[in-house]
Amino acid sequence: MPLHHVEVWNDLSDAGTLTADVAVIGSGAGGAAVAGELSRAGLSTVVLEPGDIPHPYGFGAHLRNAYPVEEDLGTGFGPRVLEALVPYARAAATLPALRGQRFAHAVGGMMSYWSHVCAVPDHATEAEPSVPEAEMRALWAEAARLLWSNSTVGAAGVRQRHLRRLLGQEFTGLPEGRGVQPLPVGMREDASGQARYSGIDALLDGGQSTGPATVGIVPGYAARQVVLTGGRATAVLAGAVAGGRALRVEADAVVVAAGALGSPAILHASGVRPPALGRYLTDHSMVSSRVRLSAGVREGATADDASFGVWIPSSGERPLHTQIVPGWTEVAGFDRSVPARETADIGQFVAVDPDPDNRLVFGEGKPGPWGLPSVSARFELGAADRDRVRAAVADHVRVADTIRDTSHGLGVSVAPPGGSLHLMGSTRLGTEETGVADGNGRVWGTDNLYVAGNGVVSTRTTSNPTLNVVALALRTARAVAQGR
């Protein structure tokens, strides 16, 4: 896909200062959604990113496009994803309280590797309270379109048909629209019929095709501080990750979208410290297993059976997201002699209550990564969170027993905190007391400083977060454009 309006500025040897309408910190889902929307509105952005271009298969494209065959997921794609996932700021180890947390420090952030599940949240229980319902639903629909979300993946597949039938018979009585259904996935076919999965190329699409570039991406530079004068952001100070060279980006507005650990660290370093900053961390407890599919699911499936993806969405009575998909990681203890196409991964995301005591702590004056303060975390599940995990494990076994070959064992695992890769809440939307930013993502006490990405989520959710945070980032981009 030609992105004429995007340039990657690898060589900034002459530039001590850059200018743009808007400075965006971080090139993941939040940052790219903002930059794309601003570009479509005709505004220019400079996007700072400490990572590099992650692979040679097209700018912003998803790595999976290089592995079109389902059988290659576990052997080719999976190992490359695991290699790319590192502790925050490439530290030697993850934070002890968030042992499972990893990031992808690359242009595209985690979206270069995500599993492209575009789950639409349950409005009644998961939507941001600061966004009116009709607008939130419209934003989710826009985000789904931008992310190439569609629910037809595997429609022609035999395994898909059997999985939906068996699970539909077992899980009945769920609310309208929230029953067993095809999993929405960010994928579309190109002109030759080849599946293309969405990366940030999808979010940046649609800018002008002639004239100067409106999105300038600067790999290898980490933001250290936003410069503010009387509540007005005027510039971002950044440093080259490799060499210490400094860069100043002057802009009319700044959007901080550096991930759930990076964004609060940058605000803290900039002296912007609303009471909720780094607090109310929330996550998805993740329960997972790999199963050999039962003979009933495999019946009639040939070697070229279309891929599959089945979803049991969260709903009020069932605060649990369940997805059944082909696996891409090695699973300890699972019989390696079972061919990949006879297996499925069952993944569940379980709600965690936002709790102000689950928080990040920034080391005052102590040097941390990339010139930012050092960070530590306190994160513990409460009694209600633990009860939900127990219920999810029981539900998980029920899902597994409906579709699995019971002559193989079943190992159900609960990931360590952060292991879902969905850490949220550290720069949450809310009131001045309970939030870092208002419903438009504008940081309290500032005129033109905004946040985007997973950190903005303030509610207890179970749906994979990207569609929701892209939707909220579109709202933020429009507020930025309007505020200029």
CA distance 180 to 320: 13
For ligand FAD, the binding residues in 338-377 under the rule CB under 6 A are 370
Binder of ligand FAD out of 94, 315, 446, 466 (CB under 6 A): 466
Structure token pair of residue 140 = 């989710």
28 interacts with ligand FAD by CB under 6 A: yes
Given candidates 59, 77, 103, 280, which one binds ligand FAD under the rule CB under 6 A?
Answer: 103
| Sole binder of ligand FAD in the list 3, 18, 20, 25 (CB under 6 A) | 25
Structure tokens at 233: 């952001």
Residue 240 corresponds to which tokens in the numbers above?
A: 């080259």
Comparing CB distances to ligand FAD, the nearer of 327 and 453 is 453
What x/- string results for residues 195 through 234 when contact with ligand FAD is judged by CB under 6 A? ---------------------------xx-----------
Identify which range of 256-264, 332-340, 374-382, 408-416 contacts ligand FAD by CB under 6 A.
256-264
Check residue 475 for interaction with ligand FAD (CB under 6 A): no
Q: Is 139 in the site for ligand FAD (CB under 6 A)?
A: no
* DSSP bridge partners of 101: none
Residue 171 CA, chain-centre distance (Å), reads: 28
- Please provide the size of the chain in residues: 484
Size of the site for ligand FAD (CB under 6 A): 40
Under the binding rule (CB under 6 A), the answer on residue 87 touching ligand FAD is: no
Instruction: Indicate the burial class of 141 (C-beta count within 10 angstroms; 0-12, 13-18, 19 or more).
Output: middle
Site stretch for ligand FAD (CB under 6 A), options 132-140, 204-212, 287-295, 461-469: 461-469
The residue (of 73 and 399) whose beta carbon lies closer to ligand FAD is: 73
CA distance 417 to 149: 28
> What tokens does 118 get?
């575009």
Interaction with ligand FAD in 413-432: which residues (CB under 6 A)? 421-422
180 or 375, CB closer to ligand FAD? 375
Q: Is 342 exposed, middle or buried (0-12, 13-18, 19+ CB in 10 A)?
A: middle
Return the residue of 26, 74, 274, 327 that touches ligand FAD, per CB under 6 A: 26
Candidates 98-106, 201-209, 274-282, 379-387: pick the segment binding ligand FAD (CB under 6 A). Answer: 98-106
Angle at 428 between CA 366 and CA 472, to 5 degrees: 125
Using CB under 6 A, which of 21, 37, 49, 122 touches ligand FAD?
A: 49
Region class of 154: left (phi > 0), else alpha (psi between -120 and 50), else beta: left
Among 51, 87, 274, 278, binds ligand FAD (CB under 6 A): 51
Per DSSP bridges, beta strands 195-197 and 413-414 are: unpaired
- Residue 65 binds ligand FAD, judged by CB under 6 A: no
* Tokens 């002459």 -> residue: 14
Q: How many Å from the N-terminal Cα to the C-terminal Cα in the chain?
A: 30
- From 10-18, 103-111, 163-171, 391-399, give the range in contact with ligand FAD by CB under 6 A: 103-111
| Residue choice 262, 326, 347, 373 for contact with ligand FAD (CB under 6 A) | 262
* DSSP assignment of 113-155: T---B-PPP-HHHHS-TTS-HHHHHHHHHHHHHHTTEES-TTT
Told to check if 327 binds ligand FAD by CB under 6 A, we report: no
Minimum separation from the CB atom of position 323 to ligand FAD (A) = 8
**Only segment of 3-11, 43-51, 289-297, 335-343 that touches ligand FAD (CB under 6 A):** 43-51
Residue 144 or 257 with smaller CB distance to ligand FAD: 257
Rule CB under 6 A: is residue 285 a binding residue for ligand FAD? Answer: no
| Dist CA 417 CA 347 (whole Å) | 15
Give bridge partners of residue 246 from the DSSP assignment.
Answer: 239
**Least distance (Å) from ligand FAD to the CB of residue 222?**
4
Taking CB under 6 A as the rule, does residue 24 contact ligand FAD? no
Three-class HEC string of 207-245: CCCCCCCCEEEEECEEEEEEEEECCEEEEEEEEECCCCC
SS3 72: helix
The span of 8-16, 101-109, 134-142, 160-168 binding ligand FAD (CB under 6 A) equals 101-109
Collapsing DSSP to helix, strand or coil, 272 comes out as coil
By the criterion CB under 6 A, which residues form the site for ligand FAD?
Answer: 25-31, 48-51, 81, 85, 103-105, 109-111, 113-117, 222-223, 257-259, 262, 266, 370, 421-422, 453-454, 464-466, 469
